[in-house]
Structure 1
């Protein structure tokens, strides 16, 4: 494809500076995601320094690891000292805190982003027309929620004893593992549509030694049917997947179905990121552009905050409390209970 150019700007205006930084930022984002998966960030967080290369780990290509560090040096996440040692840079703490966002963006959603021109064609937008790495999405989402969201979640569950909890879109399973550890008498059941996430969560339960206290099932939350494992659930949680309930009529139907599928549920704790109303600007927070863009590519509607409240009311759920979050930006955690008993 060619493009029409009305004038040719001086290369000095774009080979360095803001446009060049957009290019380099893409490379740095992929490097940060790679460093997370390879364990390079964890090593630096623990020791503050690492060899400039594979450090004797023959599984890793020395030149590739060096290129990852070079990109992170450009971003001031690390500093390369005398081509021998890497130390944490001025942006390391912030980048480490944000590592889940980059892993979600690059490893989890990178293929879909690269396919954006094809996904813009109406003729392809049906069936399974895009791909994401759902294992990486699950891991990235867990890292994103580990700070503020999970602390809020634990605070809410601490108020009332949990007998049995169902986590919808359970992803890596770490939320249920933590709940089981904090509530020794609780039983846990996870549901996820992704077979990769089900395997990940099942492995997490086994590694935690939970035995029959935690089970994980593959299923579509939008089409759940009652089953014996759900009959005694008193708490239902759903973190970072509520937007999959939409559009509006589908969301209301799903929320109503949850009351039938979990007939003894006393509360639903739902957390999600809402659609923003303003045009992106220089101070747009992390995640917003990526989250809204990827869901446009996938054809998933993102509701605004007021739309959630309308759907809750119509579906028979009372909103008892709302908590806004800084991480993720534009996130809200809703504490819901049945408006009337089944």
Structure 2
């Protein structure tokens, strides 16, 4: 160990600098491991979520961007002010004479899609990842001891669906001249609301197993003035024989991201559900199944998406070639596969109809 001594000019206090090659090497290993970056990313994610969840983000955007204009009203002002300072350090905010504004980086990180994707993992699946050790060891069981938060899940998925998936559903419907749609596992009803807002002639029905989600969807429809065109009912999306009468008479049945969970019970479980759907696809009805197409790589959060399915013991999403095999074994045939060429989460929509 090397020791270098010096004296402060003001107090003549000795300052001893210690230099230890082993400690330097240990610290450099820690820095090179990228663990500091992972820690920073974790904390920044939670800070961004808090900025949005507390209403501070909306206040900044509304012009209430200083203590004098009410930015910190109702907050623990000392903590809130220092969290804002942290966000200045991280480059999301700029501060000038007590006034805060979002930087370009801050705008991007708090965009509608960025917050939805963040909320999917932090808010909806946060209760699951926080219990990862217990799930791995078997001290906790998903569905009994641990649950994802379905309210935030529906809300954040709805935001992503509106941007990337609703246009595909509209394209599929337009190709058939269809005007009435049944959405399976409708959640908060965002897909149906967006489709109806884009076409005044469309009506629809949303079906979800969760009564709370159905109530939220009904309220959302009322807020948009669509209560006369949309109905939401409680029901099992995978048991067509039990569907309420209002589900009859639709021209398109859509289900986005609802079927792959059944792969945990084997391919035949999915084939059986498709066969059950085939029985209700009378006349010119179309079944439009939208499913993630992961490549199981580390691009576009595929690895994170995979981990959520691991921890919740769901069936893993499969690619279009595997879906083709499953559909071939069912009583349905695939007429088209619709997908986005470049932008958005990887998703394929399968246009299905009964075999002739």
TM range (shorter): 0.7 to 0.9
Question: Superposed, which structure 2 residues align to 1:75-154 within 5 Å?
Answer: 75-76=90-91, 78-82=92-96, 84-95=98-109, 96=111, 97-122=113-138, 124-125=140-141, 128-154=144-170
Note if 1:51 corresponds to 2:66. Answer: yes
Given the alignment, which residue of 228, 241, 249 partners 1:232? 249
Deviations 1:172-223 (A, max 9, x none): 2121122223343433111122333222211111222233432212233223
CA contact (8 A) 1:52 1:86 kept: no
Note if 1:245 corresponds to 2:272. Answer: no
**Aligned equivalents of 1:172, 1:104: Cα separation in 2:** 14
Shift in Å, 1:294? 0.8
**Aligned equivalents of 2:210, 2:337: Cα separation in 1:** 29
Q: Residue 278 of structure 2: SS of its match in structure 1?
A: helix
TM-score, reference length from structure 2? 0.80
**Aligned equivalents of 2:51, 2:332: Cα separation in 1:** 43
**Aligned equivalents of 2:233, 2:149: Cα separation in 1:** 19
Shift in Å, 1:161? 3.0
CA contact (8 A) 1:27 1:71 kept: no
Shift in Å, 1:332? 1.8
Higher alpha-carbon Rg: 2
Cα 1:312–1:137 change in 2 (3 A) is same
Note if 1:301 corresponds to 2:315. Answer: yes
**Aligned equivalents of 1:304, 1:119: Cα separation in 2:** 24
Q: Which residue of 2 aligns with 1:276?
A: 295
Q: CA RMSD in A?
A: 3.0
Shift in Å, 1:43? 5.6
**Aligned equivalents of 1:80, 1:68: Cα separation in 2:** 13
**Aligned equivalents of 2:84, 2:303: Cα separation in 1:** 26
CA contact (8 A) 2:45 2:118 kept: yes
Shift in Å, 1:98? 1.8
Aligned length: 327
Cα 1:81–1:226 change in 2 (3 A) is closer
Q: Which residue of 2 aligns with 1:3?
A: none
Deviates more, 1:98-107 or 1:310-319: 310-319
CA contact (8 A) 2:124 2:153 kept: yes
Deviations 1:263-285 (A, max 9, x none): 4562122222123244x3xxx22
Q: Residue 165 of structure 1: SS of its match in structure 2?
A: strand
Shift in Å, 1:70? 4.4
Given the alignment, which residue of 326, 332, 346 partners 1:311? 326
Note if 1:222 corresponds to 2:238. Answer: yes
Q: Which residue of 1 aligns with 2:183?
A: 167
Q: Residue 182 of structure 2: SS of its match in structure 1?
A: strand
Cα 1:50–1:162 change in 2 (3 A) is farther
**Aligned equivalents of 1:300, 1:211: Cα separation in 2:** 34
Cα 1:127–1:40 change in 2 (3 A) is closer
Q: Residue 201 of structure 1: SS of its match in structure 2?
A: helix
Q: Which runs of 5+ in 2 are unaligned?
A: 1-21
**Aligned equivalents of 2:32, 2:274: Cα separation in 1:** 51
Q: Which residue of 2 aligns with 1:4?
A: none
Q: Which residue of 1 aligns with 2:26?
A: 10
CA contact (8 A) 1:110 1:132 kept: yes
Shift in Å, 1:86? 2.4
Q: Which runs of 5+ in 1 are unaligned?
A: 1-6
TM-score, reference length from structure 1? 0.83
**Aligned equivalents of 1:59, 1:309: Cα separation in 2:** 55
Q: Residue 180 of structure 1: SS of its match in structure 2?
A: helix
Note if 1:62 corresponds to 2:81. Answer: no
Q: Residue 317 of structure 2: SS of its match in structure 1?
A: coil
